[in-house]
Amino acid sequence: MSELDDQKALDRIDRSGMRELLKRFPEQLSRAWDLEAELPAFRQIIVCGMGGSAIGGDYLRVYLARKGFPRPVFVVRGYELPPFTDEETLVFAVSYSGNTEETLHCFEQALRCRSPIVAITSGGKLAGMARESKADLISIPKGLPPRAALGYLFIPMLRSLKPFLQDLEAEFQETLNILHRITSLYAEAPEEENPAKRLARAWHGRIPLICGSFLLTDAVARRWKTQINENAKSPAFYSALPELHHNELMGWERLKQFVYALLRDPAEEPKLKRRFELTRSLLEERGCTVMEFQGEGRGLLARLLSLSYLGDWASFYLAMLYGVDPTPVALIEELKARLAR
Ligand code: F6R
């Protein structure tokens, strides 16, 4: 029997219970659907946040662009809002803990710019600042690692934009149905039938490279990379086509220890399809392991979130193969503590 199929052994490694949180992700999405803010008029959107609190901004940016939403969306992972931030810029300030200094700094800047602000947080300083300044506050449950709160950190932004998005409700329903179905596959199926376990096996002892495509699966590629980093405590890198064809492929001269995961989507333009096919052939000719994945669903939301969820589970199983508890991120905590001194 594969060690990934020995539930008792997995529980001994997963001491802090990441598996349970992953299993409950579809339920989290349903709860998150009830959280929304009433939005004022706006011309553009900025989502500011870091790490697990920022990735929902990228999912939003991709989703809105592909739906033809005619206003720009920017994701700010840093201390500074762009100089074009003004009173017609809707700012989502997202921090799970509410204590991330970059996001707090952006929040203060947004106040000075008189931007309408929606804070999304489980508490901390951000909740206090939002209450004090009478900014909109979406309070989400405490007690999760931020990266396991993606539903709460992403869905309320989308839900608040529902008046602009036809089909959102139907797409959301489809997403839930698909996620409920694949949860049992990823959580329970033995290794030979379980894509998440097989992917983890391919990554074990090697360096995962994740390749998405511009403004489609690139955000999911970033999520896979960060989930591998934080859950499995492993290096991983992500990139996107077509940009990869203009630089990254030159590194293929020294390829052997890498595993490429190509994140595909049926909405790829024909030129991109061709580039993915070529990428695959060139990599295989060099003896590199290449795997392709695609989200499930007719709607983009379901495809993005189901593909994202596969990366969550695969990074979890990679942590199991490395024998590390996925939940603690000691070095991130230590760094934050040192910065605060
Ligand atoms: C930890 C995690 C980190 C945090 C990041 C920002 O699970 O995912 O990437 O999200 O350090 O902290 P928060 O989310 O509290 O603003």
Per-residue pLDDT of 253-312, as tens digits, reads 877 778 999 999 999 999 999 999 999 999 999 889 999 999 999 999 999 999 999 999
Measured in angstroms, how far is the CA atom of residue 94 from the centroid of ligand 1?
10
The active-site residue out of 8, 246, 256, 271 is 246
Residue 133 contacts by C-beta under 8 Å, 6 or more apart in sequence?
111, 117
**Which one of the listed residues 102, 171, 174, 230 is annotated catalytic?**
230
Asked if residue 168 lies in contact with residue 174, where contact means CB atoms within 8 angstroms, the answer is: no
Which of 324, 61, 37 lies closest to 200, judged by CA?
324
Q: How far is the CA of 126 from the centre of ligand 1 (A)?
A: 14
Chain mean position to CA 308: 6
pTM, two decimals, is 0.97
Rounded distance from Cα 48 to ligand 1 centre (Å) = 12
Q: How far apart are CA 257 and CA 120, in angstroms?
A: 40
Mean pLDDT of the chain: 97
* pLDDT tens column, 48-95: 999 999 999 999 999 999 999 999 999 999 999 999 999 999 999 999
CA distances from 20 to 27, 120, 176, 209 (A): 11, 23, 17, 27
